[in-house]
Structure 1
Amino acid sequence: MISFIKSVLIDLQNKNVNFQELTFVLPSKRAGVFLKHHLSSLLDQPIFTPQIISSEEFVEELSGLQNLPNTDLLFRFYETYKALTKEEEQEPFESFSKWAQILLQDFNEIDRYLIPQDHIFDYLNAIKELDHWSLESNSTDLVTNYLKFWKSLKNYYASYTENLLASKQGYQGLIYRKAVDNLEPYMEDCSGKNHVFLGFNALNSAESKIIQGLLKNDLAHIYWDIDKAFIDDNVHDAGWFTRQHRAHWDYFKTKPFNWVTETYSTPKNIQAIGIPKLVGQAKYIGQLLTDLTQKETKLSSIAVVLGEEHLLLPVLNSIPSTISKLNVTMGLPLQFVPLASVFEQLFVLHKNNPKEFYYKDVVSVLSHPSIYPLFETESGNVSVNLVAHITKNNLVYMGLSDLKKLVTEHIDLIEFLFQSWQDKPLIALKNCSTLISRMKTNLDGDKKNHSLELEYLYRFNTLFNQLSELNTAYKYLNSVSALQTIYKELLSSETLDFKGEPLEGLQIMGMLESRVLDFDTVIISSVNEGILPSGKTNNSFIPFDVKIERGLPTFKEKDAVYTYHFYRLLQRAKNVYILYNTEIDALKGGEKSRFLTQLEIEGQHEIVNSVIAPEVPIIEQKLQEIVKSDAVIEQLKVFSAKGFSPSSLSNYIRNPMDFYFEKVLGIKEFDDVEENIAANTLGSVIHNSLEDFYKPLEGELLTLEHLKTFKEQIKITVTKHFKDLYKDGDFTKGKNLIIFEIAQRYISNFLNLERDSLKAGNEIKIIAIESDESINIEIDGLDFPIRLKGKVDRVDQFNGVIRVVDYKSGKVEQNKLEIVDWEDLTTDYTKYSKSFQILCYAYMMRQNKRVELPIEAGIISFKNLNGGFLKFGKKESSGSRKKDQLITNETLDDFEVELKKLITEICSPELNFIEKDLTK
């Protein structure tokens, strides 16, 4: 295959042109490297390199204007806006920038297509006058301001362009318009100089006029890269622009329209491959490259064309290790660099100038991989300790002074990160630059290779220098929020560029970088609707019908541009792999692209369709089993000596693996900040408050006077225990205040229940409150000490009958405290865990001879107070209404059998810990 560039050079050589006198104008800079390479292969003696420039560079040279970056243009436009707008009507820069970006894009389009400015702005104003929604003779302020905006557009444009031209600067559209104005004098001065335009397709009016002018005066050659299959098909979008040029350019009325090739019809291996998700495509590209390199395919003839720039990093990580040379022509946007999130988090932290910071924002900054190393000390890391303290003490909001009190080292760093920016961009910029310096110093002091991290720091240092220069020059950034807007704008446009050898190795590029270049094997990713082509986006103030009437580009032209690029990649290729995402994502792209459907319908090439899914091994859901090694048995002996609690035994009944992880391995649940008061905290507050009330009454009868006193002390007592348990957490507002009120209501309702019981003539004597119980148990077959321990919430005497009472802050129903078969007690956690716990308490109290049987044992549920004291009961059968609610020696003897059986199962070396399937 002869590439397009080489075929152009051969044609020029056959025409005996002097290459040294040529100026090659290309759609992109990248194509210039390939042009030089092909030119060198055709020459048999050295020559001076001809001038090779991109179309943007050529037009800039022709206009005599300097192209300004978007952010500079925005600031210059705000300068114009302020000069033309009354001070009381001026918008702050932050809100101005949101609509000004769109307006600048419209100015750009109007100038690139040489639309008479007065005409289009007057036209727009007239349309808005006609279709505004107010029918009142006297317009409201809203309507007046709305119409004033459209009337002002002409003045904005005139003043803005005048200021730019005065300083010999401009945006792309203005440069194009000025270049057209300068075309005649340029052509007079460039006698003997010849221009070669190659590989162009979609041309704006200014480009079209410039090229036609040079052609007409025999100062240029133009080479189209279009195939007969596209240009001769009147409805094929790939040839839409070239058909327009052929039909409407005066030059082609007398000159032939050459350079229509027939390479698209050559045999091709085209595969359309559906793959779920972006990462799936990246991994499959890696697999494809492995297969291709094993076939000894020349790497430089393979191009990976990425439809989405997000895919660059996953693809780079998926390239097989056998590929040692590659060239990435698309830059990595700075917004995807890990370091970007540091400054984003700092902006989030400081932009509203808060007096106190939300804990998640603080933890995000302290734990960020780029900041975390700055807190290193000889003994550990200050950041770790600080985050642990915030978590443990439920610090939801905290100020700088609070944070400084919590550390003894790196206080200066804490002050630097969390000192208020006072909503001043100058302070923000200075702090961000200083942070970069600190990070660099830290990396320089490390012996490891941090070349990539240092490159990131350099690019961000450059970015903040740009922001500082803009802020110094224009002084329009009057808040951190406005600075963040411009920071994001720069972040999305700036890239981290890669260095590589463009003529060697695998080529990775975006769709636009592929212009004019040809490859034998092409892999195109993300060929989905909404991505390729990009869809019906209309980021403009100019209505669609006005664009049609004035010849401005719409989404239809944009689709035609993408169609051309897509088909041009296929034109000379032999192997084409088209990848698309099978998972429809409404935000990033929908179903497979219409380009694929069009390829199939055209029928010129056979398309091999397939859907690829990653190999997901079928993992058998095997319940985990832990063999009780000698080390495990030793740990069980230690734990047995300390004592089994009813809750730990219940935990084993629920799932032996939970017991193993928590009690044998000592693994604790991850502690997080209790932003809202947790259920266990609420339960502890209720228990502790009732202990404060009832503990002094041990051995006494409960009276109505006692209950009256308790009710008066509810708020004070509950507040005290919330402060003890919730540490520095705030419970004066929001959900926490509701939970605080609920705790008081639960206790108040319980005291009302007690009051009603006394008023009904019942006698209640308090025997013990929060009584610590522990007993030793001897079990046949186990030759080490075993203890059972627990804390009984309350033991009282109700009309002469002793009751063992357990408080539950959740909801418990009576049927959860009734059993039929004793064996179920230690096997069914869901139904019988409450019964098991209260029987444990009764059993310990009998063994310690603290009570005389028979007794009652049960639960008071604070979410089911209407149920009163819910008693344990033994029934003959599940349908029986008859139940024995008195706990006798016989009851506890039966329970003892099951208890010992359970502890034997836990401690026996022969019985492993086997996970329970909790999904059933």
Structure 2
Amino acid sequence: MSGGFFLFPWQRPFLPALKAFMDAPERRRLQTLLIVPHRRPWRYLQELYAAEPGGGRILPKMLTMTEVFSAWRAGLPPMPLRGANILDCVALLHDCVRALSSDDEGLERLFSAMPMERFFPWGVRLAGLLEEMFGQCVDVRDLPYAEDEVAPHAAALLGALGRIGSAYLAALEERRWTTPGLDALLAARHAATLPPLLRPSGDRAVVIAGFFQLTASEDAVLRSLWEQGADVCLHTDPALAAAPSGEGKQACHWACLEHARWLRDWRATPCLMDVPGEDAEPERHFFAGYDAHSQIGKVCQRLADGNAPQASTAVILGDGGLLMPLLHELPDKNVNISMGYPLERTPLYQLLDSLLRLQERENATEGGLYYWRALQAVLAHPYPALLRPSGAGEGTPLRPALFALDRQLRRGQRFVSPQTLLASVAEGDEETQAMLCLIVERLISAFASLGTTAEMAAAIEGVCSLLLEYGEDIWAHYPLDAEALYRVMQKVLPVLRDNALAHRPLTAGQLRGITREVLRQERIPFEADPLSGVQILGMLETRLLHFERVHILEATDDRMPGQAAQDVLLPDSLRPLIGLPDTSRRELVMAHNLYRLCASARQVFFYWQEGSTRSALFDGKKCRSRFVEQAVWHEEVRRGRLLAPGDGLLETAACTVRPFEREQPLLPRTPALNRAMESFLDAAPLSPTHLDAYLRCPLRFVRTHLCGLRALDGVNEGDDPAAIGSLLHEVLQQVFRTYENRVLPSDTEEKETLLQRLNACFQEKVAEKRLRCTLPPDSMAMLLAAVPLRFKAFVDALPSDSLLLGVEQKIEASLVLRSGEQRFYGIMDRLDRRDGLVHILDYKTGSIALQETAFWEDTALLARMAALEDGDDATEADETLAEVRSLIPSVQLLCYLAMARARHMGPLGNAACVELRSDGRECALLNAEAAAAADMDVIIDRCEDVISFLVWHMRYAPSFTGCVGGHCAFCPLHSLCPSPA
């Protein structure tokens, strides 16, 4: 005798009505078995039973469909020895495909010699497809002629799908393994044979509650139970009961059409339950934000509203990635989370992924060297820094020692040995050093030469035991991390350790890919307590539940219903050919869950973001979900008007956008900065480089030389102009020192000899400084090709009849300036005597900013510089400095001339920069015509006027102003300026 088919109106809560149904007098004396889609409703039923007065009653027994299939399968011989995990399934499929390759041309050509590393992704998809076919009770058969629909590898697998499925089932049966899909298939095939524990009887009532869309195996098993007397309870649109056998299905909501089909297929007569309550239309509110945080902000504002009741409130996340930002912003942290959180998002996964990434080919060498950034990602992870050498709760954490390692790592080479790195840092006592060695052993060395999944499991177990042994006390403060550690040890490690691939040699890349896949499949469940207050759930977790107020975040079309990922093995167009439902049924499930949840609520709030582009093939924009569109339309029909953005129901995020007002970055001269500047000027001689730095940007000079700010240490991974410039200076110094007090080469043969010596010295210096290890290969190749050409241009441009007086000449002199006597020092790259005059030359490997000739005749500027006094307006001082900067981009040669005159180095001629980066020409301070007509004493007097002004500005300017320009792009402190250029 068939059981009843009861419809519960979805405008009213389902679980209280279901409890009342099971507590009816005719069922109260019976032992009740409740079969539901998932275990979440049982927690709420327990609360309902606990609230009963008196207590002391036997609760119903609850089973999910997975447990029902397992119970059904347990009664069918032979009893399986164990369930096969994903690695077992892939290994069996790999063997089956290779065995069938001898009789199949397509499989032989593409898969006969395919290693496991390349087969694994296909094996995962193939195992998933077979599991779905088992669950849908579909006969596995070959699907030939699919070459025009899928890639060649997928076409070959589909063409032999029936034979692969048969061999796969035979392999599972031979080993007495089972899978959830196989349990469902066998249970459906023997649906007429009900297990005693599931059979309805005179003392046992069976209630099937809360299902919506059934697979073929679920349909067969539940139908058999119903035919034997089980009752079916559905939470659905009451209009479904308008006509018998679902003939009037169009009268019900479209999201309940699956229930109508169910009634029709089973030829069931529905009975509409009379559930107490009011059928009130829920209040709908809509909010369009510009990003996820604007949605979260609005939710938190409404939750913090003192007039809003917090009881029976749910926040539904369309995207699980919103969980952590939402928890951070919630006003009340005591919330109930009921959703699976991906292990992939946890810090533990990031640590394990960093360990795997460290061993990849681009990050590790055969000699045991590791790329510094990949090694830093491991050592800078927060977990090692929390460990204590003396065990849980004792001693000092490893953070200081790891920081010292990080500093040393940033100052080293691109590839470094962990053992050498430890030896270079003597931080902490012997116990700390031993702990650092243990970390290197467990986190780095243990993963260096793994070949099987069992060895990978042992390496990961070593990481977990390290975290537990030396940081046991910290996990109580980080429950999510503790749960992640538990899931890895109890769920992931058994899969890696005990499977058909456990001892099969694998390549390193394949082993890392398999490990990542197993880790990504794991999800962390949250404890669903307390049940009162605000609850955070995913849409699937809301099945059968009821809330008075519902907030639905990220209600965009790419999340609700969302677009299923394209299956490269079996695309949607081929699924009907083998009897599988297409992905449109997924949208129907989402719709039913959403509309059922909203129908029983009193207030529903939809949040979405508009206008933000997403990373997609055609860069589509996010838009509100089609389900939200229907809710908006329904509200417009009910109110008889279109909803306009900004009114009471359809709100938009308010965001005031103002244009950037460029601020002049500056620091006022505080007493502390003034003392620091005076100490800097008085403590040691100034160099021309200091004056150039101040002239270019006073603010950067102060931050660097007075405040001690500098760029973060890091291994140089690009071009290193400073190192190359220093190398070329050393080459020229070493070679030209042999020509001191001699006339520079002038004929072709002598120049050729000089060029050969320069090139030979350059090669020696490159090997000595190990530039091949520090420069990128392309930069090194360009350097080796360009330098000989630059040397040739430089040698060809050497002036004739020039006597070399000296190279790398150090000079120190005191200049009497308007602010007092000031000492200076410098190093002049080369001194030549030409026409009886001393010429000062400075080598430049970078660009050269030429001096403006107009400066020497600008008496008005010289007068303004001299007229500035301490206490004058800061604007006037800065404007004068800016004008000097525009005419004199560098004062280095000016300083050399002033110091040379102060040291009486002889009659001085012109000064010039030698441009090594191009043709080796000399860029003179004065052009030939001006140099011939100029009085050098007058020129040097004006040089001292400029130097005097700069030193005065350094001592007395009211503020230090930043100079915004092209150099800002290369400034390491650029982010500190309030208005970026």
SS of alignment partner, residue 816 of structure 2: coil
Determine the C-alpha separation between the residues in 2 that align with 1:257 and 1:314: 45
Amino acid at match of 2:773: G
Q: Does 1:729 find its partner at 2:773?
A: yes
Q: Which residue of 2 aligns with 1:434?
A: 462
Q: Which residue of 1 aligns with 2:953?
A: 905
Q: CA deviation at 1:148?
A: 5.4
Q: 518, 523, 542: which is aligned to 1:490?
A: 518
Identity %: 19
Q: Which residue of 2 aligns with 1:870?
A: 923
SS of alignment partner, residue 371 of structure 1: helix
Maintained 8 Å contact 2:288/2:651: yes
Maintained 8 Å contact 2:719/2:776: no
Amino acid at match of 1:74: V
Q: Which residue of 2 aligns with 1:338?
A: 347
Q: Which residue of 2 aligns with 1:878?
A: none
Q: Does 1:251 find its partner at 2:267?
A: yes
The number of residue pairs the alignment matches comes to 880
Q: 607, 624, 642: which is aligned to 1:579?
A: 607
Q: 111, 127, 133: which is aligned to 2:134?
A: 111
Determine the C-alpha separation between the residues in 2 that align with 1:444 and 1:147: 52
Maintained 8 Å contact 1:351/1:423: no
Q: Which residue of 1 aligns with 2:71?
A: 61
Q: 361, 365, 374: which is aligned to 2:374?
A: 361
Determine the C-alpha separation between the residues in 2 that align with 1:269 and 1:717: 84
SS of alignment partner, residue 212 of structure 1: helix
Q: Which residue of 1 aligns with 2:313?
A: 302
Q: Does 1:319 find its partner at 2:330?
A: yes
Q: Does 1:370 find its partner at 2:370?
A: no
Q: Which residue of 1 aligns with 2:430?
A: none
Q: 937, 945, 955: which is aligned to 1:889?
A: 937
**1:210-249 matched pairs, under 5 angstroms:** 210-226=221-237, 228=239, 233=250, 237-246=254-263, 248-249=264-265
Maintained 8 Å contact 2:318/2:552: yes
Amino acid at match of 2:613: I
Maintained 8 Å contact 1:655/1:916: yes
Name the CA shift for 1:24/1:882 in 2 (closer, same or farther; >3 Å). Answer: same
Q: Does 1:601 find its partner at 2:633?
A: yes
Maintained 8 Å contact 1:811/1:862: no
**1:759-807, CA deviations, whole angstroms, 9 ceiling, x for partnerless residues?**
xxx311112322222222334455xx52222222222133445422222
Name the CA shift for 1:626/1:40 in 2 (closer, same or farther; >3 Å). Answer: closer
SS of alignment partner, residue 865 of structure 1: coil
**1:366-418, CA deviations, whole angstroms, 9 ceiling, x for partnerless residues?**
2222234569898984544444344334x122346644653564455445544
Determine the C-alpha separation between the residues in 1 that align with 2:112 and 2:687: 72
Q: Which residue of 2 aligns with 1:175?
A: 183
Name the CA shift for 1:260/1:659 in 2 (closer, same or farther; >3 Å). Answer: farther
**1:94-109 matched pairs, under 5 angstroms:** 94-109=117-132
Maintained 8 Å contact 1:93/1:477: no
Q: Which residue of 2 aligns with 1:138?
A: none
Determine the C-alpha separation between the residues in 2 that align with 1:557 and 1:446: 46
Amino acid at match of 2:720: A
**1:166-202, CA deviations, whole angstroms, 9 ceiling, x for partnerless residues?**
6665333322221222221218854334322222211
Q: Does 1:4 find its partner at 2:14?
A: yes
Q: CA deviation at 1:514?
A: 0.4
SS of alignment partner, residue 891 of structure 2: helix
Q: Which residue of 2 aligns with 1:406?
A: 424
Determine the C-alpha separation between the residues in 2 that align with 1:166 and 1:903: 91
- List alignment gaps of at least 5 residues for structure 1: 134-141, 876-880
SS of alignment partner, residue 304 of structure 2: helix
Q: Does 1:610 find its partner at 2:651?
A: yes
Maintained 8 Å contact 2:295/2:553: yes
Determine the C-alpha separation between the residues in 1 that align with 2:672 and 2:235: 79
Maintained 8 Å contact 2:851/2:889: no
Amino acid at match of 1:889: D
SS of alignment partner, residue 795 of structure 1: strand
Worse-matched range after superposition: 505-514 or 51-60: 51-60
Name the CA shift for 1:212/1:432 in 2 (closer, same or farther; >3 Å). Answer: closer
Q: 541, 564, 578: which is aligned to 2:569?
A: 541
Maintained 8 Å contact 1:183/1:210: yes
Q: CA deviation at 1:816?
A: 5.8
Q: CA deviation at 1:63?
A: 3.1
Q: 687, 690, 711: which is aligned to 2:755?
A: 711
Q: Which residue of 2 aligns with 1:839?
A: 894
**1:788-827 matched pairs, under 5 angstroms:** 788-812=824-848, 814=850, 819=855, 821=858, 822=861, 826-827=881-882
Q: CA deviation at 1:538?
A: 3.3
Amino acid at match of 1:598: Q
Q: CA deviation at 1:263?
A: 9.4
Determine the C-alpha separation between the residues in 2 that align with 1:727 and 1:545: 57
Determine the C-alpha separation between the residues in 2 that align with 1:19 and 1:73: 46
Amino acid at match of 1:295: N
Q: Does 1:16 find its partner at 2:20?
A: no
Q: 648, 659, 664: which is aligned to 2:690?
A: 648
Determine the C-alpha separation between the residues in 2 that align with 1:559 and 1:451: 35
Determine the C-alpha separation between the residues in 2 that align with 1:437 and 1:477: 25
Q: 197, 204, 207: which is aligned to 2:215?
A: 204
Determine the C-alpha separation between the residues in 1 that align with 2:49 and 2:458: 50
Determine the C-alpha separation between the residues in 1 that align with 2:24 and 2:437: 75
Name the CA shift for 1:235/1:493 in 2 (closer, same or farther; >3 Å). Answer: same
Determine the C-alpha separation between the residues in 2 that align with 1:215 and 1:590: 44
Maintained 8 Å contact 2:32/2:61: yes
Name the CA shift for 1:637/1:464 in 2 (closer, same or farther; >3 Å). Answer: same
Q: Which residue of 1 aligns with 2:7?
A: none
Determine the C-alpha separation between the residues in 2 that align with 1:68 and 1:777: 87
Q: Does 1:162 find its partner at 2:157?
A: no
Determine the C-alpha separation between the residues in 2 that align with 1:885 and 1:555: 89
Name the CA shift for 1:400/1:672 in 2 (closer, same or farther; >3 Å). Answer: closer
Q: Which residue of 2 aligns with 1:592?
A: 624
Determine the C-alpha separation between the residues in 2 that align with 1:885 and 1:55: 102
Q: CA deviation at 1:4?
A: 1.4
Amino acid at match of 1:808: K
Q: CA deviation at 1:656?
A: 1.5
Q: CA deviation at 1:735?
A: 2.2
Amino acid at match of 2:696: R
Q: CA deviation at 1:302?
A: 0.5
Q: Provide TM-score, normalisation by structure 2.
A: 0.81
Determine the C-alpha separation between the residues in 1 that align with 2:90 and 2:772: 47
Q: CA deviation at 1:515?
A: 0.4
Q: 763, 766, 774: which is aligned to 2:801?
A: 763
Q: Does 1:861 find its partner at 2:861?
A: no
Determine the C-alpha separation between the residues in 1 that align with 2:193 and 2:586: 33
Q: 116, 119, 128: which is aligned to 2:146?
A: 128
Name the CA shift for 1:339/1:159 in 2 (closer, same or farther; >3 Å). Answer: same
Maintained 8 Å contact 2:461/2:489: yes
- Aligned alpha-carbon RMSD (Å): 3.8
Amino acid at match of 1:857: A
Q: Does 1:466 find its partner at 2:476?
A: no
Name the CA shift for 1:670/1:226 in 2 (closer, same or farther; >3 Å). Answer: same
Q: Does 1:623 find its partner at 2:661?
A: no
Q: Which residue of 1 aligns with 2:962?
A: 915
Amino acid at match of 1:690: L
SS of alignment partner, residue 465 of structure 2: helix
Q: 49, 52, 65: which is aligned to 2:59?
A: 49
Determine the C-alpha separation between the residues in 2 that align with 1:178 and 1:730: 64
**1:193-229, CA deviations, whole angstroms, 9 ceiling, x for partnerless residues?**
4322222211122222333333334332332423549
Q: Does 1:553 find its partner at 2:581?
A: yes
Q: 414, 421, 441: which is aligned to 2:448?
A: 421
Q: 295, 317, 328: which is aligned to 1:281?
A: 295
Worse-matched range after superposition: 68-77 or 837-846: 68-77
Worse-matched range after superposition: 494-503 or 452-461: 452-461
Determine the C-alpha separation between the residues in 2 that align with 1:605 and 1:20: 46
